[in-house]
Structure 1
């Protein structure tokens, strides 16, 4: 993983609203869960897409070049696009930025994959 989640203190505050996963240009991007494509556009030079899942959580992916359209239904593991060329906030490396949001709240995507945060305790 290139960068981890850092929740913003406020809606417009600084933070990292997802995780960055190292990858290569042209790599397949797959849906993290069943859902419907609810956004696909280029924002700040980055191809972005969002999938709203049956749970109500919305996953966001960037930079992803996709032929899917808003309203298309996808299944978990289905290819939804490829890592696109162009702006990448991990430059000079290439990464997939994966975000998760429920309503207005940004969520750490890692727990959705069964990952847990490790907390180191002092040795007595």
Structure 2
């Protein structure tokens, strides 16, 4: 089946802060290194939904129009940290009922899966 072109995102603290402000999710694990470390994390981590937002961007850029996106889901498989470079990939896995079915995933620069079992449907 058809492979989607690759898309990468370099995660910045600015991305994380902007997402926290826009979403209203001010959980300190996303904003305060000392707090994040106090609960066993390596430092601040990106919001899972920030990564999923980039997954949506990946799909809609390929589809050419965000109105074509009908369904999107994924599993948050690992933490995403500031400085990570996330590589999104996907393929057209099938078509049913006028919808293209996409299988999607994202890995970090170490090859670790950060978003798995991604699935989207876009109008054909």
Q: TM-score, normalised by structure 2?
A: 0.24
Structure with bigger helix share is: 2
Structure with bigger strand share is: 1
Q: TM-score, normalised by structure 1?
A: 0.24
